C-alpha cells in the first residue's frame, strides 16, 4: 500500500474524493503509523456515525476503519511522510498464524470452574446489576458445591423459562449492549487500515489484552470469528477497551450463552456476570470489551 510519493498522495486523494458528500468531507487527513491513514477533527459525540460512513466506504477505498484516540500520548498524529507498513508477505503470514490459533484456549475465564458452596450462592446468583429477584430460590435444586459456570447456566436456563423474570433482568442489564455504555474519549481520530481483510486488521489493533505477537494473532482470529458469526465490526480501540457494532444478535439460549462466555473471556473487567451478559446480548447491537491492568 506504501509506495512512491505519487502513489501515496494519490491514495489520499482517492480517500478524500470518496469522502465528498459525507460528514467526513473536508476533515484533515494524512499519513498515520505503519501504513495507516488518519483523519482528524472527528466529533467525539458523533464517532459512531463517522465510523459508519467510513465502514460503508470500505469497498471503495479498500481500508477498514477503526476509531482511535490520542488522549494517552502523542504517537497517534498525522505525519508529514508515510510510514511503511508490513509487506504483503508479512501480512499474509500474520493472517495465517491468526487463523491457526485457538483464541478461546488463550482467552478464557480462569475462574469459571471455581467451586461455589452454599454460603456463596446468593452472591453469584444476584449478579453484578443487583436485580431484585429471589434468584437463590431459582437454583435451590442445584447440588452444591458446584462449578460457578454450572450454577450460572442453571440460573440462565431458569430465566429463559420465565418470561416475566427474564424481562425484569433485561431491564437491569440491557445498558451494557447499548452505545450509551461506550467510552467516549475527549479526542477521536479515524484510522484507516491498509487492508480490507478483517483477520489481517488485527495487526494494527492496539489492545491491552493483546500485547505480544501471539496474542495479536488470537485477537485477530476473534475479530474474524465474530465478524463471520455475528457480523461484529470493530468500531473503536481505546487501548484497554474495544467497541463493536453487531449486525446479528445471538438467539436466547445456547447462542447467547456461548457469545457471553467469549465476551466475558476477552473482557475480564466487564462488570456483569455471564448469565447477565447472555440476557443482554439478545437485545442490543453494541458490544463493549474492557481489559485493563
Distance CA 254, CA 60 (A): 37
66: nearest Cα among 55, 80, 79, 57: 55
**Distances from the Cα of 252 to the Cαs of 46, 101, 258, 279, 283, in angstroms?**
31, 28, 10, 7, 10
Domain boundaries, the chain: 5-100+180-246, 106-178+249-290
Q: Which helix (H) or strand (E) holds 67?
A: strand 65-68
Q: What is the pLDDT of residues 137-191, one digit of tens each?
A: 777 788 889 898 998 999 899 899 989 989 989 999 999 999 999 999 999 999 9
Per residue in 186-207, pLDDT (tens digit) is 999 999 999 999 999 999 999 9
Residue 3, all three cell numbers: 509506495
pLDDT in tens, 213-256: 999 999 999 999 999 999 999 999 999 999 999 999 999 999 99
Q: Judging by DSSP bridges, how do beta strands 37-42 and 29-31 pair with one another?
A: antiparallel
Residues 254-291 pLDDT 10s: 999 999 999 999 999 998 999 999 999 999 999 999 99
pTM recorded for the entire structure: 0.93
Element holding 115 (H helix, E strand): strand 115-116
Task: Write out pLDDT tens, residues 31-84.
Answer: 999 999 999 999 999 999 999 999 999 999 999 999 999 987 667 889 989 999
**Sequence-ordered list of residues with C-beta below 8 angstroms from that of 240, at least 6 positions apart, any chain:** 207, 208, 269, 290, 291, 292, 293
The rounded distance, in Å, linking the Cα atoms of 200 and 31 is: 19
pLDDT value of residue 132: 60
Other Cβ atoms closer than 10 A to 132: 9
* Alpha carbons within 13 A on the beta-carbon side of 130: 0
Rounded Cα gap, residues 66 and 292, in angstroms:
20
Burial class (CB in 10 A: 0-12, 13-18, 19+), 62: middle
DSSP 123: H
Q: Name the 3-class secondary structure at 261.
A: helix
Quick one: pLDDT at residue 192? 98
The predicted pLDDT at position 135 comes to: 62
Looking at residue 4, its pLDDT comes to: 42
Give residue 92's pLDDT band: very low, low, confident or very high (50, 70, 90).
Answer: very high
pLDDT for residue 223: 98
| Residues 74, 236: Cα–Cα separation, whole Å | 18
pLDDT at 113: 77
Q: Could you give the 3-state DSSP secondary structure of residue 68?
A: strand
Residue 87 has a pLDDT of 96
Amino acid at each position: 500500500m506504501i509506495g512512491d510519493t505519487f502513489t501515496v498522495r494519490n491514495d489520499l486523494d482517492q480517500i478524500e474524493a470518496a469522502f465528498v458528500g459525507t460528514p467526513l468531507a473536508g476533515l484533515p487527513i494524512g499519513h498515520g503509523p505503519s501504513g495507516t491513514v488518519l483523519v482528524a477533527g472527528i466529533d467525539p459525540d458523533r464517532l459512531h456515525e463517522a465510523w459508519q460512513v467510513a465502514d460503508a466506504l470500505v469497498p471503495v477505498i479498500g481500508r477498514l476503519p477503526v476509531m482511535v484516540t490520542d488522549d494517552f500520548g502523542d504517537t497517534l498524529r498525522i505525519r508529514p511522510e508515510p510510514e511503511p507498513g508490513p509487506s504483503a508477505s508479512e501480512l499474509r503470514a500474520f493472517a495465517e498464524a491468526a487463523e491457526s490459533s485457538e483464541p478461546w484456549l488463550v482467552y478464557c475465564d480462569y475462574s469459571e470452574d471455581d467451586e461455589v458452596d452454599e454460603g456463596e450462592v446468593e452472591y453469584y446468583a444476584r449478579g453484578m446489576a443487583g436485580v431484585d429477584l429471589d434468584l437463590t430460590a431459582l437454583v435451590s435444586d442445584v447440588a452444591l458445591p458446584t462449578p460457578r459456570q454450572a450454577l450460572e447456566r442453571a440460573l440462565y436456563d431458569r430465566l429463559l423459562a420465565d418470561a416475566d423474570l427474564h424481562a425484569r433482568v433485561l431491564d437491569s442489564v440491557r445498558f451494557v449492549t447499548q452505545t450509551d455504555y461506550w467510552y467516549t474519549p475527549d479526542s477521536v481520530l479515524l484510522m484507516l487500515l491498509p487492508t480490507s481483510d478483517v483477520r489481517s486488521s488485527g495487526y494494527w489493533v492496539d489492545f491491552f489484552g493483546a500485547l505480544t505477537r501471539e496474542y495479536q494473532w488470537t485477537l485477530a482470529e476473534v475479530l474474524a470469528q465474530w465478524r463471520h458469526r455475528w457480523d461484529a465490526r470493530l468500531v473503536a480501540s481505546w487501548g484497554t477497551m474495544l467497541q463493536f457494532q453487531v449486525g446479528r444478535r445471538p438467539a436466547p439460549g445456547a447462542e447467547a450463552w456461548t457469545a457471553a462466555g467469549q465476551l466475558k473471556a476477552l473482557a475480564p473487567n466487564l462488570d456483569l456476570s455471564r448469565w447477565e451478559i447472555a440476557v443482554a446480548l439478545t437485545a442490543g447491537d453494541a458490544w463493549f470489551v474492557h481489559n485493563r491492568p
